[in-house]
Amino acid sequence: MPLRSIALLAGLIPLFSVHAVYLISAIFEHVSWCVPYLDGCTSISKAGRHSPANYVFRATMIPWAVVLMIYWTLVCEWLIAMGDKKGLVNRAILYFGIIAAVFLILYAAALGSEGQIYRLLRRYGVIVFFAFTYLAQLLLLSRLNKLHVPPSIYNLKLTLCLMQFFIGLISLPVRAYSSGDLNSRIENIVEWNFALIMILYFVVTYFAWRASGFYASFFVAKSE
């Protein structure tokens, strides 16, 4: 059974979800019409905060978190199948990926609910999700550098990781010297673009698994 569809789902589910949620919220006038990647008129969280968009967000984000748990498990198996050792880095990739997925579930479950506890769950949920997913992606990149993967795959993943790093780095001084509505818009622009690039990383894994012929086989032991 080819496993590359898992990597594709890890990329396509959030691409559909965040854009569908934004369109629904804009139609119901919960957020403004704009190109959020350029204008930053709303955050992803705000777009998914009100019903009916909130139902779509939860119905897609929680299954996505489960897909991500499967994805990171398969990533580790793929690395081993490619000749990597089952060592500390391999386990760290899995643990970081699982932790990120768990906090994504907490974030999605708390979105749309009022109260201090829910606000903390949303804030730390999204921070931990982004941070630990990025760390897992960096560690995967470091292992691919030592394995026989197509240079185009490695270079694409490297480019996406560098883009995430520089988006975060550049946003720090810009946000430090801005305030009010401008600061909020910059934060939203960073969030939308960072999320898009992170999602594209999963799609590149699809092509890596397809190129390497990553399959699963099932069997039962024959009784003697």
The H-or-E segment that residue 119 falls in is helix 116-144
Q: What is the pLDDT of residue 97?
A: 97
* Structure-model confidence comparison of residues 138 and 222, the more confident one: 138
| Statement: residue 40 has pLDDT above 80 | yes
pLDDT digits (tens, 9 = 90+) for 52-85: 999 999 999 999 999 999 999 999 999 999 888 8
> Residue 82 in 3-state DSSP?
coil
Please tell me whether the peptide bond between 14 and the residue prior to it is cis, using omega within 30 degrees of 0. no
pLDDT at 183 over 90: no
Q: Would you say residue 175 has pLDDT above 80? A: no
**Domain ranges (residues) in the chain:** 4-212
Please answer whether residues 24 and 51 qualify as being in contact, where contact means their C-beta atoms are separated by less than 8 angstroms. Answer: no
How many angstroms from the chain centroid is the CA of residue 143? Answer: 19
- Do residues 16 and 41 lie in contact, with contact meaning Cβ atoms separated by under 8 Å? no
Going 197 to 153 to 149 to 219, the CA torsion angle's sign is positive
Instruction: Tell me the pLDDT tens digit for each residue of 111-156.
Output: 877 777 778 888 888 899 999 999 999 999 999 988 888 899 999 9
33: helix, strand or coil? coil
Q: Please report, in angstroms and rounded to a whole number, the separation of the first and last CA atoms in the chain.
A: 27
Judge contact between 141 and 157, C-beta under 8 A.
yes
Mean pLDDT, rounded, for 196-223? 85
CA-nearest of 125, 9, 126 to 68 is 9
Identify the pLDDT of residue 178.
65
Can you list the positions of beta strands (E) in 4-144? none
What pLDDT sits at residue 1?
65
Half-sphere exposure of residue 148, counting CA atoms within 13 Å on the CB side? Answer: 5
- Please indicate whether residue 224 or residue 116 has the higher confidence score (pLDDT): 116
CA–CA distance, 204 with 149 (Å, rounded to integer): 12
Give the pLDDT score at 72.
Answer: 97
Q: Please tell me the distance from the alpha carbon of residue 87 to that of residue 92, in angstroms, as a whole number.
A: 9
